[in-house]
Structures are given as C-alpha cells and as structure tokens.
Amino acid sequence: MFGIETDIIGKIAGIVALAAFVPYIYSTLKGKTKPNRATWWIWTLVSFIIAGSYFDVGARETIWVAISYIVGPVIMAILSLKYGEGGWNKFDRFCVLGALAGFVLWILFDAPLIALLLTIFIDFVGFLPTYKKAYHNPWGESKLAWIIFVAADLLNVFAIETLAFGIVIYPVYMLIVEAPVLFLLFRKRKKNLRKNTRYKRL
C-alpha cells in the first residue's frame, strides 16, 4: 500500500486502535461513562484468547490490532472496578464459558483456529448490545472512538500479507463488526438533528 511494508502498516494499525481507547478512558475518568465491569473483564479474557490463537495460526503483520485490543480492555476493566457499574448475568457467564471452551480446545487438540473462530463468535455476540445502544442511544457512545476503531480496522486489512483463511478472518471480521456501529451513530445523529431543527422552526 503506497509502497509501505505491510508490517509497518500493521504496527500503525495497532497504534491507531490503541488510541481509540483514549476517549473512553478520558470519559470514564471524568465520570461521563460508566463501564460495565463484567463486559470489560469478559472482553479482556476473550481478547487474550483471540490474540494468542491468532498468533498461533501464523498472524504477524496483523497481530498488533489484536494486541491493542488486549491493552485497551485491560485498562478499562481495571478502571471499571472504581468507576464502573453492574454485575454478572447469564449472558456474561455464557461468554466466559464459551471463551474458556475455545481455550481448552486450543490446548487439548492444538487447534488455534478453532479457538480463534469460537472466541470471534463470542466477541460478535457481545457486540449485539452495542448495536442496540448505538441505534437507540448514540450519545452514549464516543463517535471519535469508533471513527478511530474503524480506521485501525481498515489499515489492518491493508496489512494482510498472506491470503490464508486463518490470517484474513480476524482483520476482516473486525472491520465488518465495527463499521456498522459507526454507521448507526452517524445515521441516528443526523436523523435526530433534522427532527430537532424542524421542532425549533415550529
């Protein structure tokens, strides 16, 4: 891409992805965001398994975004202990059991791809409430953070060097799963802006 080596693009993507957590961290420290404790600890666990299994299937240039999605959630999980809210429910326990099942399969059968796919599925299920929130309450999400997340995902797709399923699946998945959140945030905000403008004229 533009003469830049894929490993450099991958590292830039990782730095950009990590930077996306800055608005969340700032908002949390200011008391504007109340991170759910269970959610961020689950994402931390899932991210560790995804990054480990993704590396094990051979990912190198595109591993940096996966690593940044360990560091960011760890920071948010720690902050949630003081600034967060919520406890554990059945859905949270399902996510933990699913992630652990993937880890066990990986270790027992030396099957990192199975662990990767299973934890990606768990990660996707965990995204469903985010879609709902982005549609009904877009002001509860940081538009800047999601712009940066999607930019990092796009860069990571360009960092793909080997067109093997195990390598391609994670960068493509992250772009596909996060781009709709950004779309919903912009779509809802624009619609409500038109509606509020009409009310003011009346």
Tens digits of residue pLDDT in 19-36 = 999 998 998 898 888 888
Share of the chain above pLDDT 90, in %: 55
Position 114 pLDDT exceeds 90? yes
Arithmetic mean of pLDDT, 115-142 = 86
Confidence of residue 86 (pLDDT cuts 50, 70, 90): confident
Position 90 pLDDT exceeds 70? yes
> Is there a contact between 102 and 49 (Cβ–Cβ < 8 Å)?
yes
Position 126 pLDDT exceeds 90? no
Of 49, 74, 87, 83, the closest CA to residue 170 belongs to 49
Position 46 pLDDT exceeds 70? yes
Q: What are the tokens at 65?
A: 């975004």
Buried b / exposed e over 15-43, threshold 16 CB at 10 Å, is ebbbbbbebbbebbeeeebebbbbbbbbb
The better pLDDT of the pair 145, 197 is held by 145
> Is there a contact between 185 and 200 (Cβ–Cβ < 8 Å)?
no
> Is there a contact between 59 and 10 (Cβ–Cβ < 8 Å)?
no
Residue ranges per domain, the chain? Answer: 6-201
SS3 labels along 47-70: HHHHHHHHHHCCCCCCHHHHHHHH
Please tell me the predicted confidence (pLDDT) of residue 69.
95
Please tell me the predicted confidence (pLDDT) of residue 96.
86
CA dist., res. 159 & res. 112, Å (int): 21
Model confidence pLDDT, tens digit, residues 144-192: 999 999 999 999 999 998 999 999 999 999 999 999 999 998 884 544 4
The better pLDDT of the pair 1, 172 is held by 172
